[in-house]
Amino acid sequence: MIPGVISTGLESWGTSNISRPYFRKRLWGSWSMMRALVMEKEVWKKHIMLNKRTGLDPPDIKLRAAQGFDATDFFITGYWIWNKILENLASLGYDSTNSFTAAYDWRLSYPNLETRDHYFTRLKCYIEMSVHVENKKVVLTSHSMGGQVVFYFLHWVASDQGGKGGDDWVEKHIDSWINVSGCLLGAVKDVAAILSGEMRDTAQLNAFAVYGLEKFLSKDERAEIFRAMPGISSMLPIGGSAIWGDLDSAPDDQPGQEHSFGSFLNFRIGQNWTTPDKNFTVDEAMKYLLETTDDWYRDQILGSYSHGVAHTRADVEANEADPRKWINPLETRLPLAPSLKIYCFYGVGKPTERAYFYRSPEPGSITNLNMTIDTGLTQGEVDHGVIMGEGDGTVNLMSTGYMCNRGWNIKRYNPAGVKVTVVEMPHEPERFNPRGGPKTADHVDILGRQNLNEFILRIAAGKGDTIGNYIVSNIVEYSEKAKVYDDE
């Protein structure tokens, strides 16, 4: 099991004076985090942010991912994440000897996961040991950003620059990959979080709540924290205008829509505003983000990730030798493992951030940010400066659905013909259940959804071939409009 972003607890192993009171306490994912955040905010920030230049531990600070099932079963007491899946797997005879949670420090860039924690080496060794002991191939289950981690691992493990397993390693060791709510092409809300420390949840707060949040952890501080966690930037949108659209149209635009989703960052004109004089596509927003942030952030992102599209088989094959491309399913291929099976399970029908209106910061406000979400704008399809599209409430439908429904049907991205099964799960929450109940399809709460758990058990029991495709959204139509073409 490979968890998603922020769901793994992080505990302090530092022994310096600043860290001693928190030794082996979780500074992410527990009540200790809440206490530290309230009582000693600056100390907590020093622990949670990585060194800006190296992307590794700051001096005298040592935070590590909690290990074992405890790392991801609950975020804080009572807020389950993987617990329901673990409980159900136990009914098939799974326990701590034949299942494993591959928890990781989600703040680190993917190359640094290996550099500092040898994460991918340890994952490879565990899988090899499991196959040796059980004499069966393993099933990988990932959630959210964990899907990107798995995709990166599948390249790393075969490459001479990584695990040196060779092109047949995946075929020999992995039976299935269950990709739950996988943000394979990123999430557009990541741009807003890193650009201005905001997202829809903060944009929709009332004035009193905004005042409280700003006093406690300002937009500047939030943006700085997000930037000092290069792992979070792995979820910046991938595919540029080909997937997310240009200023006039986007693949997932609706008929009669007033604002195209392709016009991603929109700017109204205001007196003394210093915002750009034209709207931005996702491509232009990414360029603007890298131009207006510090060089240390730019170096981390450009040195670790790539967000483009490879349009020919030759380009895709060449990219297998470039570790920066391994995160990107539009620039690299699936492993050469014809018997591998991929299952994409994701939620649909919950409004999800898709585009934004931005403005200059309020006159007289003390901020280093160039812009902020225009929360005063609510008209038509714009809600507090945020335009909503389709998805699971966190990740956009184009990200969860494009590769599974279209991308991996293109030969250059799936030369071995790996079978991909897609089940979309409509969001049908219970009215008075805070976590949505057995039919929720929310990005996180889906992990407790009844039929998702049933499908995971079927696959773990070797009965995955009984699961058929089930598509209720317009993802096939949207995917055909994306400007990624089959060169065959």
Catalytic residue numbers read 144, 392, 443
User: Tokens standing for 291?
Assistant: 């131009």
Region of residue 259 (left: phi > 0; alpha: psi -120 to 50; beta: else): beta
Output the CA torsion sign for 86, 470, 139, 121.
Answer: negative
Contact 381, 266 (CB under 8 A): no
How far, in Å, CA of 59 to CA of 79, rounded? 33
DSSP state, 57? P
List the Cα angle 408/412/417 in 5-degree steps. 55
β pairing state of 386-389 and 382-383: antiparallel
Q: Where are the alpha helices (DSSP H) in 320-411?
A: 397-405
Q: Residue 425: enclosing H or E segment and its boundaries?
A: strand 419-426
How far, in Å, CA of 54 to CA of 50, rounded? 8
Q: Where are the alpha helices (DSSP H) in 293-396?
A: 295-304, 313-319
Q: Residue 169: enclosing H or E segment and its boundaries?
A: helix 169-173
**C-alpha distances in Å from residue 195, one per residue of 286, 356, 370, 450:** 9, 12, 9, 37
